Structure 1
Amino acid sequence: MPLTVKDMMEAANAVVERIDGAKAQELVAQGALLLDIRDAPELERSGRAVEAHHIPRGMLEFRADPTTQYHDSELRFDRPIVLHCASGGRAALAGKLLKEMGYAEVYNLGGLTDWQQGGGAVIEPVDPGM
């Protein structure tokens, strides 16, 4: 039987802990990386968390692998990672992937609104009409 998105989400949610905005703020204050995996147009439309580092979901494997020329030094195996996307689905799948790649402490915050609801500061999008 083919693997479905529902199957993938269940597997991801089973291994990546979902946390709220307050817990995410606490982890980031302790040195965790807040990683925004949304695409660039999403950041342009809705802004981003002040503390967030951005790697689009489509580049995550390349940025996370220290053996590639594309490795992002913000991603370290000994640093907790708090992922978010727009609503949490991509963050869950990305979290599972990172765990499979050897990142031990990975969390799913959900979406940018979860960060805001936890009191996190956001850089608002620029008005494209100006």
Structure 2
Amino acid sequence: MLSFLKPSAARFSAAEAVAKVEAGEMVLIDVRDRTELAASGRAAGALHVPLMMLKMKCDPSSPECLAELSEGKPLAVYCASGGRSQMAAQMLNAMGHREVHNIGGFYDWHAAGGAVESV
């Protein structure tokens, strides 16, 4: 479908991401829009960076890059079903983030036992 976006980011098990995020070894990014968060909540501790804001908030060369990304930890991204998070992972790789994983959708996080918080 969007094969022009390369290289492809490998899917990472949501259960693996839950363990790494809980241990403080990975940064989790939710790329859904605000209305989706309001409807379902978000993964506990996830940074909310809508896909449209990714370049501004996650590019190390941007003056608005989030401080949480400066530590060089691996990143995990999710959206509603995995499509936007795949694009986000590829964009993050292109920005220079070395280890980026697409864990799929919010449901995958929740089904793997990840905590959810209201927004």
- Please give the secondary structure, in 2, of the residue aligned with 1:83: strand
Of 94, 97, 103, the match for 2:91: 97
Task: Deviation per CA, 1:19-65: give whole Å up to 9, x if none.
Answer: 22211112212420011011111100111111211111111011122
Q: Does 1:7 align with 2:6?
A: no
5+ residue gaps, structure 2, are none
Question: Which 10-residue stretch deviates more, 49-58 or 59-68?
Answer: 59-68
Q: State the partner residue of 1:128.
A: none
* TM-score, with length taken from structure 2: 0.88
Q: 1:111 aligns with which of 79, 87, 105?
A: 105
RMSD, aligned CA:
1.8
Q: CA 1:124 to 1:68, structure 2 compared with 1: closer, same or farther past 3 Å? A: closer
2:11 aligned to which of 14, 18, 21 = 18
Aligned counterpart in structure 1 of residue 31 of structure 2, from 37, 43, 55: 37
The offset of 1:98, in angstroms, is 0.7
Q: Paired residues, what number? A: 118
Offset, 1:79: 1.1
Residue 74 (structure 1) shift: 1.2
TM-score by length of 1: 0.82
Percentage identity across paired residues of the two chains: 39
Structure 1 unmatched ranges of 5 or more? 126-130
